[in-house]
């Protein structure tokens, strides 16, 4: 999930949108899985309230939607924020937090500067809007769509880390033989890259041909006992972000065949500024990397769904 203030140019679905228009984009499948896992754990009242808000106040019908409609209100709502960003660029920074590799945990707030904020401030603010009964109903519905999406994004490890590489978006990778190709639109941006494979390719390779609903059912079975434990924990956005950050460090960067040194943080706004040295890294990822990443993707999707359900249940007891 395209995660997360520096300007992150290619967060989640949008990167895939213009880099590989035919790809099924925490792309569409990842976000929908999180929503569908959550739906299984919503209390009846919370589910009725959430479905009522989404049904009574649908998203702007003129907004082009990248992901195909699933017919499930929560799953369809889960991918809206990536489309909304195209018409409201001020929301781009809400999808991630740029925690530099090597940053101490105590410093999280430092990486969420106003006015743009980050995923932590966005979750807090959208929850406030959602709780406020005096807010216009359409704005509450949008707040619910944002919350559903951001709980997914915060569990995508690459939405909580950066190494002067826009959350891995500027790290070209070869993935199972697919060589990175430069975007015809944006110089220095390559696909696949480290961020994009965590958004879509690793999950798709884990579940070829499976629908989001199939994947959600499998996760239910695999994580049944742990889902209830995750739900019992209090919602702590900073702790969730840090957990994702550590996974990104340990697995997403840590398992690369050619270790990438931790960079001294500096402001990077486009991949063109760093792509030359990044391309020379020649990261060639296949089974060993996939085998290390897959359990993380599985658990983060299940955890995101469980935590989203607990959050919505607490809003509408
Ligand atoms: Zn996003």
Domain of residue 292, CATH code: 1.10.575.10
Contact (Cβ atoms closer than 8 angstroms) between residue 102 and residue 216: no
Q: Quickly count: other Cβ atoms within 10 Å of residue 182's Cβ.
A: 17
Q: How far is the CA of 301 from the centre of ligand 1 (A)?
A: 14
Q: What percent of the chain has pLDDT over 70?
A: 92
Residues 257-305: tens digit of each pLDDT = 999 999 999 999 999 998 777 777 889 999 999 999 999 999 999 999 9
Indicate whether 153 belongs to any domain: yes
Domain that holds residue 205: 12-315
Q: How far is the CA of 153 from the centre of ligand 1 (A)?
A: 5
Task: Quote the CA–CA distance of 191 and 181 in Å, as a whole number.
Answer: 5
Predicted local confidence at residue 157, as pLDDT = 97
Q: How far is the CA of 151 from the centre of ligand 1 (A)?
A: 9
Indicate whether 5 belongs to any domain: no
Mean pLDDT of 33-52: 97
Question: Which tokens hold the place of 255?
Answer: 């398992």
The torsion region of residue 117 among left (phi > 0), alpha (psi -120 to 50) and beta comes to: left
What protein residues have CB closer than 5 angstroms to ion ligand 1?
12, 82, 95, 153
Q: How far is the CA of 95 from the centre of ligand 1 (A)?
A: 5
Contact (Cβ atoms closer than 8 angstroms) between residue 306 and residue 152: no
pLDDT at 202 over 80: yes
Indicate whether 286 belongs to any domain: yes
Indicate whether 3 belongs to any domain: no
pLDDT averaged over the chain?
90
Indicate whether 228 belongs to any domain: yes
Indicate whether 7 belongs to any domain: no
Residues 220-232: tens digit of each pLDDT = 999 999 999 999 9
Closest CA to 2 of 66, 86, 94, 89: 94
What pTM was computed for the model?
Answer: 0.92
Number of folded domains that form the chain = 1
Task: Quote the CA–CA distance of 35 and 212 in Å, as a whole number.
Answer: 9
Indicate whether 227 belongs to any domain: yes
Indicate whether 6 belongs to any domain: no
Q: How far is the CA of 116 from the centre of ligand 1 (A)?
A: 15
Mean pLDDT of 143-163: 97
């Amino acid at each position: 999930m395209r995660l997360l203030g520096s300007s992150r140019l290619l967060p989640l679905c949008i990167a895939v949108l213009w880099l590989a228009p035919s790809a099924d984009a925490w792309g569409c499948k990842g976000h929908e899985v999180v929503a569908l896992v959550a739906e299984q754990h919503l209390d009846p009242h919370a589910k009725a309230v959430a479905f009522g808000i989404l049904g009574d106040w649908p998203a702007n019908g003129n907004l082009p939607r990248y992901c195909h409609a699933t017919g499930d209100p929560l799953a369809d709502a889960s991918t809206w924020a990536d489309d909304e960003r195209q018409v409201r660029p001020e929301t781009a920074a809400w999808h991630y937090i740029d925690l530099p590799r090597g940053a101490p945990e105590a410093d999280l707030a430092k990486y969420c500067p106003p006015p743009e904020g980050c995923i932590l401030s966005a979750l807090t603010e959208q929850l406030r809007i959602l709780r406020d009964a005096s807010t216009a109903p359409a704005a509450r519905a949008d707040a619910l769509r944002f919350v559903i999406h951001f709980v997914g994004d915060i569990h995508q490890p690459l939405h909580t880390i950066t190494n002067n590489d826009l959350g891995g978006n500027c790290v070209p990778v070869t993935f199972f033989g697919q060589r990175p190709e430069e975007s015809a639109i944006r110089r220095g941006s390559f696909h696949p890259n480290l961020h994009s494979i965590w958004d879509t390719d690793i999950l798709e390779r884990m579940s070829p041909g499976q629908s989001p609903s199939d994947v959600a059912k499998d996760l239910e079975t695999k994580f049944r006992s742990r889902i209830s434990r995750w739900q019992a924990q209090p919602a702590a956005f900073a702790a969730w972000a840090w957990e994702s950050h550590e996974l990104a460090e340990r697995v997403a960067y840590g398992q690369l065949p050619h270790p990438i040194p931790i960079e001294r943080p500096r402001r990077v706004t486009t991949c063109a500024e760093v792509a030359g040295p990044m391309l020379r890294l020649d990261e060639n990822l296949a089974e060993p990397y996939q085998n290390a990443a897959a359990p993380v993707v599985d658990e983060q999707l299940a955890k995101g769904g469980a935590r989203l359900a607990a959050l919505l249940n607490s809003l509408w007891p």
